């Protein structure tokens, strides 16, 4: 997605989306593709996969290599990374058939994409190539600027990914996004922790394995159970905006 043309209203809000169980779900295809990639990269069948929820692909790959008695060298991780991206590319049709965009994802992304003072990207543990393919398959890539996002290969700590995304978005849109004007949206307590440690706003989505109480207990400022009607308004209410600046921008 190319950067938007210059607008009369400067962007004030950077929205960073998690991908899996927040915008889409692979319905076990992720596990299938990972197992195929593991066998391709190592010559060893995958007997046990590392924990997934809220973690980066680099962490998952290293743990999976260790669990299957393969030394997690940098070269082994690179080979598995390449095989994983290739695996998603080859499985586009399967993933399109078995997976889905979560209800309300298209409408929410499209509505925010139409707002002149909002910019959207992703903050995900996925490798960049994997995230791109997933979003392309479900036609969500048109609403987010992937060049402004942060990915699992950037850093193993999700809180650090927030800073990567802010820096990239600032360069991409020629406008600084400080912590008070950055919001992370995700479905796991690890997403919440990343937002809190980075000092940005956080919306929890109880669309994955974590429920409303768990996300609130982790420190999410608000928790939604769906991205259907009304969710956007709740999302925007969380962000602390300067009223004077807002009114000035809209004149």
pLDDT in tens, 90-119: 999 999 999 999 999 999 999 999 989 899
6 occurs within a structural domain: no
80 and 156 inside one domain: no
Structural domain that includes position 47: 29-97
217 and 172 assigned to the same domain: yes
Q: What is the pLDDT of residue 55?
A: 84
User: For the chain, how many structural domains are there in total?
Assistant: 2
Q: What is the pLDDT of residue 228?
A: 72
Residue found under tokens 């308004």? 233
What distance in Å separates the CA atoms of residue 82 and residue 40, rounded to the nearest whole number? 10
Contact 130, 29 (CB under 8 A): no
Count the neighbouring beta carbons within 10 Å of the beta carbon of residue 111: 14
Contacts of residue 234, Cβ cutoff 8 Å, sequence gap at least 6: 203, 222, 224
Instruction: Render 87-138 in DSSP notation, one character per residue.
Output: HHHHTHHHHHHH-EEPTTHHHHHHHHHT-TTEEEEEB-SS-HHHHHHHHHHT
> Given this model, what pLDDT does residue 251 score?
38
Q: What are phi and psi of 123, to 5 degrees?
A: -130, 105
Q: What pTM was computed for the model? A: 0.89
Which of the listed residues 81, 97, 113 is the one where a domain comes to its end?
97
> Do residue 104 and residue 179 come from a single domain?
yes
137 with 209, same domain: the answer is yes
Query: Based on the domain organization, do 158 and 131 belong to the same domain?
Result: yes
Query: Quick one: pLDDT at residue 178?
Result: 92
Q: Look up the CATH number of the domain holding residue 209.
A: 3.40.50.1000
223: nearest Cα among 233, 212, 232: 212
pLDDT tens string, the chain, 251 residues long: the values are 655 554 456 678 999 999 999 999 999 999 999 999 999 999 999 999 988 877 888 889 999 999 999 999 999 999 999 999 999 999 999 999 999 999 999 999 999 999 898 999 999 999 999 999 999 999 999 999 999 999 999 988 899 999 999 999 999 999 999 999 999 999 999 999 999 999 999 999 999 999 999 999 999 998 999 887 567 766 666 665 543 344 444 43
- Return the bridge partners of 251, or none: none
Q: Which candidate, 161, 52, 20, places its Cα nearest to that of 61? A: 52
What is the pLDDT, as a whole number, of residue 250?
Answer: 40
Looking at 97, 115, 141, the residue that finishes a domain is 97
Query: Which of 97, 126, 153 is where one domain is finished?
Result: 97
The whole-number pLDDT of residue 104 equals: 93
Rounded CA-CA distance 17/15 in Å is 6
Q: Are residues 79 and 192 in the same domain?
A: no
User: In this structure, are residues 209 and 159 in contact, taking their beta carbons and an 8 Å threshold?
Assistant: no
pLDDT at residue 99 in the model: 96
Structure confidence at residue 227 (pLDDT): 86
Are 71 and 105 found together in one domain? Answer: no
What is the chain's length?
251
Verify that 183 and 80 share a domain, yes or no. no
């Amino acid at each position: 997605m190319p950067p938007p043309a210059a607008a009369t209203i400067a962007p004030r809000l950077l929205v960073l989306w998690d991908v899996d169980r927040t915008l889409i779900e692979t319905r076990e295809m992720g596990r299938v593709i990972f197992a195929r990639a593991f066998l391709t990269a190592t010559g060893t069948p995958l007997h046990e996969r590392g924990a997934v929820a809220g973690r980066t692909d680099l962490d998952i790959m290293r743990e999976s290599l260790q669990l299957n008695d393969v030394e997690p060298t940098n070269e082994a991780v690179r080979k598995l990374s390449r095989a994983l991206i290739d695996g998603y590319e080859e499985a586009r049709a399967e993933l399109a058939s078995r997976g889905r965009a979560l209800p309300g994802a298209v409408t929410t992304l499209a509505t925010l994409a139409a707002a002149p003072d909002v910019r959207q990207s992703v903050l995900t543990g996925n490798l960049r190539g994997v995230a791109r393919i997933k979003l392309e398959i479900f036609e969500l890539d048109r609403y987010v600027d992937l060049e402004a996002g942060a990915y699992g290969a950037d850093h193993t700590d999700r809180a650090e990914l927030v800073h990567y995304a802010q820096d990239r978005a600032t360069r991409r849109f020629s406008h600084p996004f400080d912590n008070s004007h950055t919001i992370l949206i995700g479905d796991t307590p690890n997403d919440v922790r990343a937002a809190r440690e980075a000092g940005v706003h956080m919306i929890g989505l109880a669309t994955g394995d974590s429920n409303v109480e768990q996300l609130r207990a982790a420190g999410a400022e608000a928790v939604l159970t769906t991205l259907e009607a009304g969710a956007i308004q709740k999302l925007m209410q969380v962000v602390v905006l300067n009223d004077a600046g807002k009114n000035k921008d809209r004149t």
